[in-house]
């Protein structure tokens, strides 16, 4: 699998009274408030689940602008070898607009549920819940239960998240929790 981009960020810019209510993925932000995403890997999609509150519209309207930016893998190699500004790289940026038509309330209610979206929402919620449960077990001092929760979560992440980069990012967070567990166990033995 080839990495085609790194230092990836996603800007979400609501329009026309729309508001970002939540980003269900557990992602960090950069200094501009944009979401930091894993590297872009050829053939792998990155799912980001955003909950928007969109007011009623009288006509088709732009609801949200999305700005995806990254440095290409080739530009990273060139920039590390470059010694002057003329060889410096340009950040790649792609902008997309989410525009929605105006629909009557009855039409809106009759729209079918998007299965792919509901599955992504469920995965994000479940991973966050598993992380929270592991932390709660750690805080209670039940190391065995916390270890079991982390192991279950890591297995779930590998099986349920189709995007390898996103799965690796989630797994790294659980690996960090596991390392904290091991460190706490070692410290507890030293104190005893």
Instruction: Looking at the structure, tell me whether residues 64 and 83 fall in a common domain.
Output: yes
Q: Walk along the chain (192 residues) in steps of 10 and give the mean pLDDT of each run.
A: 87 96 89 92 83 92 96 63 51 95 89 85 84 85 88 85 76 81 60 48
- CATH number at 100 reads 2.60.40
Q: What is the pLDDT of residue 84?
A: 42
Instruction: Looking at the structure, tell me whether residues 145 and 76 fall in a common domain.
Output: no
Report if pTM > 0.75.
Answer: no
Domain boundary among 110, 126, 156: 110
Q: How many domains does the chain have?
A: 2
Please give the residue range of the domain that contains residue 74: 3-110
Domain boundary among 110, 131, 165: 110
Instruction: Looking at the structure, tell me whether residues 134 and 103 fall in a common domain.
Output: no
Domain boundary among 89, 110, 131: 110
Q: What is the pLDDT of residue 185?
A: 58
Residue 70 CB burial class (10 angstroms; 0-12, 13-18, ≥19): buried
Residue 171 CB burial class (10 angstroms; 0-12, 13-18, ≥19): middle
Instruction: Looking at the structure, tell me whether residues 84 and 19 fall in a common domain.
Output: yes
Instruction: Looking at the structure, tell me whether residues 156 and 138 fall in a common domain.
Output: yes
What tens digit of pLDDT does each residue of 15-26 get?
999 999 999 888
Instruction: Looking at the structure, tell me whether residues 94 and 34 fall in a common domain.
Output: yes
Provide the CB-side half-sphere exposure for 139 (13 A, CA).
6
């Amino acid at each position: 699998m080839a990495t085609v981009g790194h230092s990836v960020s996603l800007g979400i810019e609501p329009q026309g009274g729309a508001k970002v209510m939540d980003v269900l993925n557990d992602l960090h932000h950069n200094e501009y408030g944009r979401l930091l995403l894993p590297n872009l890997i050829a053939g792998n999609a990155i799912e980001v689940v955003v909950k928007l509150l969109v007011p009623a519209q009288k006509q088709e309207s732009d609801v949200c602008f999305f700005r995806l930016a990254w440095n290409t893998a080739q530009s990273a190699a060139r920039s590390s070898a470059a010694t002057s500004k003329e060889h410096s790289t340009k950040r790649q940026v792609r902008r997309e607009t989410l525009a929605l038509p105006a629909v009557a309330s009855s039409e809106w209610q009759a729209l079918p549920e998007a299965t792919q979206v509901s599955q992504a929402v469920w995965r994000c919620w479940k991973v966050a819940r598993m992380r929270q449960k592991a932390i709660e077990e750690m805080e209670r001092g039940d190391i065995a239960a916390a270890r079991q929760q982390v192991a279950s979560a890591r297995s779930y992440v590998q099986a349920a998240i189709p995007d390898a980069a996103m799965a690796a990012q989630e797994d790294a967070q659980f690996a960090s929790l596991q390392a904290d567990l091991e460190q706490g166990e070692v410290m507890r033995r030293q104190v005893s």
